Amino acid sequence: MAVFVYGCRSSDPTPADSKYFVISANDEFDGSVSTYSAGKIIDGAYKVDQSKFGDRISDAVISGDKMYAVHAESPLVDVIDLASMKLIKSISFARAPSGNEYKQIEFSNNKIIIADRALIYTQYGLEDESFLKIVDPITNNVDSIPITLNNPILALAQVNNKIFVSRRIANQVESILVLDATNYSIIKDINLAQGFCSNFLIDKNNNLLAFFSSGKMMLINTNDFSIMKTSVTGGALINVLNGGESITNSNGFCLDREANVLYYMRLAAQPASAPYIFSSYDLNTDVITMLNTNFTSASALS
């Protein structure tokens, strides 16, 4: 299960203004969105049309008064009205079937950005290519940008008119590719020998938090791409399978942007009754705090 939190913006926001969206992403093809607001739960407020594919939601992003939800099994993205939770339209961004259930989605410069992977035929034979699909939600026009061959896209984020893509290149070499969010040209390719990066977050100052399989976290300046901080948090990469080949978008990291405090599942020393300990990391003071003395299991944290 992946949880997305949306706070309605107003001049004086209150808790009653907030609405929470719970995206069901289990293995029973339950593609639904439930909502919670002002003490009221609406279970299955939105449900994916499963008549053709039997589908789930792989990832979703909110922009303005709409939610954009990319399907797992099919190459579709749903445009959903937040007020009514009704489908405005579904946009096809590739030929069916998709073949890749692990997708990421962002929204930038009025375009939907989808990280996907599919088999393609090249002059060298059959290869699988990871790419970004740039979808215009008004015209339904789709452009494709190749990112890497025979390797996955691991994380996706957008900030400061830039798109950050964590990718595997070859032989376990990882890099963070930075694209211009206007014309999608390559601005920078950041090679970091820290293991693979499967999660991005954006802090209160619009810097990029990158989380690595080594248990390290890097704070990267999104203007000049300098490494501002490297910390060993011991953070767990939840729902990362097969050495990073398969990644669902529920994860073990979330950020209180106002306070600039990270909450995450820290790997517990084994043997223990469960794999994680709920912890926090203050980005202002670099202090790690164990928030619960009980070991826990988890599939998502938001």
Predicted model pTM: 0.80
C-alpha span between 180 and 107 (Å, rounded): 13
Digit-coded pLDDT (tens) for 71-120:
877 888 999 999 899 999 999 998 765 556 678 899 999 999 999 887 66
Within the chain, how many helices (H) and strands (E) appear? 0, 26
Between 213 and 248, where is the model more confident? 213
Digit-coded pLDDT (tens) for 12-49:
334 445 677 777 655 455 678 888 777 788 888 888 87
> Could you give the C-alpha distances from 68 to 3, 145, 170, 247, 300, in angstroms and in order?
14, 20, 31, 19, 20
pLDDT for 222: 96
C-alpha span between 259 and 269 (Å, rounded): 28
Please determine, for residue 286, whether its predicted confidence score (pLDDT) is greater than 50. Answer: yes
Kindly list the strands in the beta sheet with 104-108, ordered across the sheet, starting from the edge strand earlier in the chain.
Answer: 104-108, 111-122, 125-135, 142-149
Digit-coded pLDDT (tens) for 140-194:
999 999 998 877 888 899 999 999 999 877 665 688 999 999 999 999 998 876 6
In contact, 103 and 78? CB cutoff 8 Å: no
| The residue type at 281 | Y
pLDDT for 295: 57
Strand, coil or helix: what is 291? coil
240 is written with which tokens? Answer: 């990362």
C-alpha span between 219 and 91 (Å, rounded): 35
Average pLDDT of the chain is 78
Strand, coil or helix: what is 237? coil
pLDDT for 193: 67
> Could you give the C-alpha distances from 139 to 80, 112, 184, 267, in angstroms and in order?
16, 12, 19, 46
Write the CB contacts of 154 (distance below 8 Å, at least 6 apart in sequence): 166, 167, 168, 174, 196, 197, 198, 244, 247
Give the H/E segment covering residue 193. none
C-alpha span between 15 and 3 (Å, rounded): 17
pLDDT for 227: 92
